[in-house]
């Protein structure tokens, strides 16, 4: 009888501990919604969309990308990844998708957006994860850990790919 009570107590504790641990993890490590804004003239011939999630690392990366793109006559629009369902890829010279790998997968909006694209050549994907090695299968992505540095580690790789896309579109 005593053994049975111990087993019931352990199951009850696990039943409470696991969901509360998942809620804590989600609240502590989940991304916030990124602020939408734009820079440059919407009538520019070259247009770059940056779809991101909110975090200190991603905000720093986006700020570096915008600083780099200000030297060119480029219109830049920044949106949250959740806005991707309404995006028409053909309206953009280049699309930068910056997302976090959570619960062993990318955000659903990012995955669905990439799955519906017939041409992924104009999309630069940056995937952040704890180990810096996760990426969607079949997607040529830049993977990085969200480690704050100045400038953020993947900035040079991302600007290089965006420059190549903008130069090819001239």
- pLDDT score for 77: 97
pTM: 0.80
The four Cα atoms 144, 148, 150, 151 give a dihedral, to 10 degrees, of 30
Q: Packing angle between helix 56-69 and helix 155-168, nearest 10 degrees?
A: 40
Give the DSSP per-residue string, 60-96.
Answer: HHHHHHHHHHTTSSEEEEEEEGGGGGG--GGG-SEEE
Mean pLDDT by 10 residues, the chain (170 residues): 83 80 60 86 94 91 94 93 93 93 81 87 85 70 72 84 90
pLDDT at residue 108 in the model? 87
List pLDDT tens digits, range 1-23.
688 888 888 888 888 877 776 66
Whole-number Å distance between alpha carbons of 140 and 143: 9
DSSP letter at 154?
A: T
Note the pLDDT of residue 73: 86
How confident is the model at residue 3, as a pLDDT? 86
The pLDDT assigned to 30 comes to 62
């Amino acid at each position: 009888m005593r053994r049975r009570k111990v087993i019931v107590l352990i199951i009850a504790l696990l039943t409470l501990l696991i969901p509360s641990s998942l809620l804590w993890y989600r609240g502590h490590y989940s991304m916030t919604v990124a602020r939408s804004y734009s820079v440059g003239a919407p009538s520019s011939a070259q247009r770059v969309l940056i779809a991101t999630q909110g975090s200190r690392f991603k905000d720093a990366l986006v700020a570096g990308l915008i600083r780099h793109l200000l030297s060119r006559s480029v219109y830049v629009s920044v949106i949250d990844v959740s806005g991707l369902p309404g995006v028409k890829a053909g309206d953009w010279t280049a699309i930068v998708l910056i997302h976090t790998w959570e619960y062993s997968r990318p955000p659903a909006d990012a995955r669905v957006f990439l799955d519906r694209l017939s041409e992924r050549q104009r999309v630069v994907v940056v995937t952040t994860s704890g180990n810096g090695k996760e990426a969607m299968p079949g997607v040529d992505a830049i993977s990085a850990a969200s480690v704050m540095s100045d400038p953020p580690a993947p900035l040079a790789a991302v600007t290089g790919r965006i420059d190549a896309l903008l130069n090819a579109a001239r």
